Amino acid sequence: MARNPWGLILALCSVLGCGAPDVNRSITELGWHACERDDKPAACRPKYLPNAVVISWRDGGSTRLECESTCEPNGILLDGVGARWVHELFIQGNSRYTQAHTGSSIFVPLRPLAPALDP
């Protein structure tokens, strides 16, 4: 009769830890994301608010984009000077924000970098 290995695995995980993320931590507490500004690498931490996204950049400063009306995937957001940004949500959960007039873009992956790769 084959034994179920899950009991042993769960017991080891409870003693040694399995490296699973703490579900009570917000995504912004998990580390820096490998974002891009105008297709150039730029580490960032996104913070998702009910009516906006605030992107803090590792090299300083932040970008705040507020929803034009209701926040929806693939909706319109406005920056601090009123410029319109189009939100594109990819199937993997990654986001791209493109400034409609200038073509500037911000890419934010869903998941942060692994701790060993954190800049």
Question: With contact defined as beta carbons under 8 Å apart, do 33 and 113 qualify?
Answer: yes
Q: pLDDT band for position 4 (50/70/90)?
A: very low
The pLDDT of residue 55? 96
Q: How far apart are CA 50 and CA 19, in angstroms?
A: 30
Span 60-114, pLDDT tens digits: 999 999 998 888 888 999 999 999 999 999 999 999 999 989 999 999 999 988 7
pLDDT at site 45: 94
Amino acid at 80: G
Give the strand pairing for 33-37 and 105-108: antiparallel
Tokens 């009123």 label which residue? 82
- Cα–Cα dist 55/57, whole Å: 6
d(CA 8, CA 21): 20
Residue 42 is predicted with a pLDDT of: 95
| pLDDT band with cut points at 50, 70 and 90 for residue 115 | low
Residue 30 — pLDDT band, cuts 50, 70, 90? Answer: low
The angle subtended at Cα 49 by Cα 46 and Cα 55, nearest 5°, is: 25
Q: Please give the share of the chain, as a percent, with pLDDT higher than 70.
A: 71
